[in-house]
Amino acid sequence: MCTESPVLQFFDPSKSVEIFCDASSNGLGAVLLQDSHPIAFSSRSLTDTETRYAQIEKEMLSIVHACVKFHNYIFGNHVTVYNDHKPLEDIFRKPLLSTPMRIQRMRLRLQWYDLTVKYRRGKDMELPDTLSRAQLPVNKPEMEGLECVSMLHFVSVSEQKYSELQNCTREELSCLQRIIQQGWPDHRHDLPNELQPYWDSRSQLVVSDGVVYKGLHIVVPPSMQAHMLKLIHQSHLGIVKSKQRAREVLYWPGMSSVIEQMVKNCGKCADFQNKLPRQPLRPTETPSFPFEEVASDLFEFEGTHYILLVDYYSKFIEVDTLKNLHCRSIIEKLKAQFSRHGIPVILRTDNGPQYAAEEFKVFCQSYGITHRTSSPHTPHSNGEAERAVQTVKKLWAKASDKHLALLDYRTTPLDSVGFSPAQLLMGRRPRNSLPTARLLLAPAAYDPIKVKQRLDRSKCIQKFYYDHKRASGPRAELKPGDEVRMQPHPGSNRWSPGVVVRSHDAPRSYIVESGNKEYRRNVQHLRKSTPDANDSRHRLINDHWAELMEPVSAEEPEPVEHTNSQQESAPVPQTAKGMTSTGQYITRLGRVVKPPDRLSL
């Protein structure tokens, strides 16, 4: 009745054109309107193959059918197309390549036309709906070759694997297949619970050869997901790479988070990781007067061993020759220095054997000195001493008179304060080789409050540059029982698994148990891990790397993180700490430690 000519209007090229189109299970219908008056109708039935298309493909086909049929009316004009399948709206916004193959073909065909596709509720679409249900018995497809689009041509998969996919899909995703073919409900909550995760991808889901595809990606049935995960991670790529690799070809709801968890749980990946980015600088408080806080370190220059002492306040450096590296000689030299400048309140050193010896502890106790050591393998936390060693080495490398070079350093004003180390320490300018007015050599007081302010300000500036250049944000605190990995010792590249026992008194330091031994580690060297990734932890007793690490003693003195970055070029801990150019590790006592050869296993 409605297709009889009296109902139809004449076409007016000056007016805008609208198309209403719809697909039923076995037919297509379309009507061309101007000012809500019909200009032309069209309908056809679907071929046998077309009836098996996904609902979204049928709806897309109804647009193609309408456009081809009404070509003479719409070519060169803008047209608004109304359809009652909501996902179609989305698919026109998606990149062409992310859509399923058959829809891609149809979209390419529609590129002839200037279309805006809009959604309208089914009950407002009576005309095309009627036409699609009471379709004409013609079924000539508008596009050639659309029916034989098979995804199998586009995926690289063995036939055996593909038939396995088809079987699993039939058994596990039959409900999803049915929804795709019959059309999606209007609301997410109308879907069965197990299908709701697919809701957001509904515009891209199609079924081809019994396999569900999202765009060009295979939707993996649940029982095959574990196997796919194994394939994705077979070469142990990191989280980002593994995800990218999977997203190229596969899809299932929540795939990314499963991959992320899998990589985090992978023991092999946890074994070999990159160093952590540095922590933000945590400057120590500036001491209030000279020789309140000092740092000491040992170093070697041109075959001779030296002990260095540097004052945190004035940066005054004392250097003494050492005949041997016995703890007693070191104590002797320190005693001599303290007799000159007074006994410091705090002495900072690294964890070297001489400083960690019982004898040294007794000495510090008898002199009333608080001895603080740095975390193992965190040489920069004894930064002041490390830096002073570098300063002295640089001076001596160029100087013919070591003592004059030191005098020049001590009598040259510090950038940050405007006074020389000697002035800050002794309140006078010692005479050096430069001609100087006699008056300048007289003792002169300086304002200690101003000096402290300047020192504090220079620390703030250092922190700003350090944090902005290389530090990461502060890492989350670790709790007892947390599974972790410890950064490899120099000479090894394997992160060793452990579990946090407790936090150490020193900030950012933890006691970690690994292979039945306890180690003290700075958070800089601890990566969070998972129980699964650390599965091998309990088998590591007597492992070679364990020998390389210094187990913590219960009475180990409290260290303080003391990073500082006055010198942008990092100190060279390798030579000072015993790394040779061949990558072997030499202990302070000269023992060469061969790195474990585990990669070749």
Binding site for Zn ion (CB under 5 A): 236, 266, 268-269
Residue closer to Zn ion, measured from CB, 272 or 446: 272
Let me know: does 427 contact 408? Beta carbons within 8 Å: no
Candidates 491, 578, 548, 527; CA nearest to 279 is 527
Nearer to Zn ion, 106 or 269 (CB): 269
Nearer to Zn ion, 269 or 310 (CB): 269
Residue 178: C-alpha distances to residues 206, 302, 415 (Å):
10, 82, 77
CB-wise, 271 or 293, nearer to Zn ion?
271
**Closest approach of Zn ion to the CB of residue 263, in Å:** 6
Closest distance of CB 514 from Zn ion, Å: 20
Q: Name the packing angle between helices 255-264 and 239-249 (round to 10°).
A: 150
Q: Enumerate helices (H) and strands (E) in the chain, giving the number of each.
A: 20, 21
Please provide the size of the chain in residues.
Answer: 601
Q: Burial level of 434, CB count in 10 A (0-12/13-18/19+)?
A: exposed
Give least dist CB 50 to Zn ion, A. 46
Whichever of 170 and 268 has its CB closer to Zn ion, that residue is 268
Compute the least distance from the CB of residue 257 to Zn ion, in Å: 17
Angstrom distances, CA of residue 285 to CA of 200, 294, 457, 523, 563: 55, 13, 11, 21, 12
Residue with smallest beta-carbon separation from Zn ion:
266
Residues 6+ apart with CB under 8 A from 81: 18, 19, 20, 21, 63, 66, 115, 116, 117, 118
Nearer to Zn ion, 437 or 599 (CB): 599
List all residues 6 or more positions away from 403 whose beta carbon is below 8 Å from its beta carbon: none
- The answer to whether 504 touches 461, Cβ cutoff 8 Å, is no
Nearer to Zn ion, 512 or 533 (CB): 533
Least distance from Zn ion to the Cβ atom of residue 234, Å: 9
Listed residue (390, 386, 341) closest to 367, CA to CA: 341
- The DSSP letter of residue 52 is G
Of the pair 125, 246, the CB lying nearest Zn ion is at 246
